[in-house]
């Protein structure tokens, strides 16, 4: 299941067209809806509001296929189109497909639930210069470094195909974040989850998170009570079963 079918695109001359067609067909055939487990349908190009739709639960998905691995920051869609999409009522979830150009092999495939897509993870690039073919076109970088691990739900990770049940469970585990409505609150929770990820271990202490106080102060200059704010996020994450309190100042990821 790990290869695009290149027979499908013999008549195309543009490489980006080829990749788009092959990758979308591949996804329709191999990827299920992470919300309900049903098949997903590739929508017709001319009238689509998104790339894929689950006809069972009506969740919709946008896909970005790239030969560049999705790490740190990666250029994605046109900036204004993307901002409009993530602010619309039909905001999609996002599929990221990383492939090898030489043999069209799929190396990585993951989904990021839409509720993690906030403006803070999108960076506007400089518009293309007057002399460029697409002058004025403004790209957007997705800052993958600002998306916590829990939000990257892999179907395929370094050619390793995950169990369907694992994917569905991981998706469900992110549900709590859907309830957070305020962007500012989302941002704080994401920052704390990213700090915990950067510690790289299952058990950690409050002191280890406090060590990032200055970094958080730079990100949130209006806040003068960083430590209580950290504790508040940790309590929230405990209430949502993301982590548990072990004993005074010790935490464990669930």
**Could you list the residues that contact Zn ion (CB under 5 A)?**
33, 35-36, 38, 54, 56-57
Decide if 104 contacts 4 (C-beta within 8 A): yes
Token readout for 228 is 């209580």
Assign 64 to helix, strand or coil. strand
* Rounded least distance, CB 36 to Zn ion, Å: 3
> In the complex with Zn ion, which residue's Cβ is closer, 54 or 192?
54
CA distance 68 to 98: 7
> In the complex with Zn ion, which residue's Cβ is closer, 54 or 230?
54
Assign 111 to helix, strand or coil. strand
* Rounded least distance, CB 11 to Zn ion, Å: 33
Q: Which residues contact 242 (CB under 8 A, 6 or more apart)?
A: 150, 173, 176, 193, 253, 254
> In the complex with Zn ion, which residue's Cβ is closer, 49 or 57?
57
> In the complex with Zn ion, which residue's Cβ is closer, 27 or 76?
27
CA distance 87 to 79: 12
User: Helix (H) and strand (E) counts for the chain?
Assistant: 8, 13
> In the complex with Zn ion, which residue's Cβ is closer, 58 or 227?
58
> In the complex with Zn ion, which residue's Cβ is closer, 113 or 148?
113
* Rounded least distance, CB 57 to Zn ion, Å: 3
Quote the Cα angle for 83-84-88, to 5°: 120
Query: Nearest-CA neighbor of 153 among 114, 111, 96?
Result: 111
* Rounded least distance, CB 106 to Zn ion, Å: 21
Token readout for 57 is 């639960």
* Rounded least distance, CB 61 to Zn ion, Å: 10
Torsion angles phi and psi, residue 69, rounded to 5: -70, 145
> In the complex with Zn ion, which residue's Cβ is closer, 35 or 146?
35
* Enclosing H/E stretch for 239: helix 226-239
* Rounded least distance, CB 111 to Zn ion, Å: 12
* Rounded least distance, CB 59 to Zn ion, Å: 5
């Amino acid at each position: 299941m790990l290869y695009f079918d290149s027979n499908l695109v013999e008549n195309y001359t543009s490489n980006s067209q080829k990749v788009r067609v092959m990758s979308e067909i591949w996804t329709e055939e191999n990827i299920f809806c992470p919300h309900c487990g049903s098949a997903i349908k590739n929508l017709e190009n001319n009238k689509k509001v998104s790339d894929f739709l689950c006809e069972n639960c009506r969740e919709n998905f946008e896909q970005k296929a790239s030969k560049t691995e999705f790490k740190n920051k990666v250029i994605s869609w046109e900036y204004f189109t993307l901002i409009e999409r993530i602010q619309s009522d039909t905001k999609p979830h996002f599929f990221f497909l990383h492939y090898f150009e030489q043999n069209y092999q799929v190396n990585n495939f993951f989904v990021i639930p839409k509720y993690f897509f906030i403006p803070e993870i999108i960076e506007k690039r400089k518009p293309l210069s007057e002399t460029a073919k697409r002058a004025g076109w403004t790209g957007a970088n997705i800052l993958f470094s600002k998306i916590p691990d829990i939000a990257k739900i892999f179907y395929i990770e370094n050619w390793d195909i995950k169990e369907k049940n694992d994917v569905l469970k991981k998706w469900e585990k992110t549900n709590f974040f859907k309830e957070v409505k305020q962007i500012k609150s989302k941002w704080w929770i994401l920052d704390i989850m990213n700090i915990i990820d950067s510690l790289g271990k299952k058990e950690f202490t409050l002191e280890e998170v406090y060590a990032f106080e200055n970094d958080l102060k730079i990100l949130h200059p209006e806040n003068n009570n960083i430590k209580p704010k950290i504790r508040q996020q940790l309590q929230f994450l405990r209430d949502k079963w993301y982590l548990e309190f072990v004993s005074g100042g010790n935490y464990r990821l669930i």
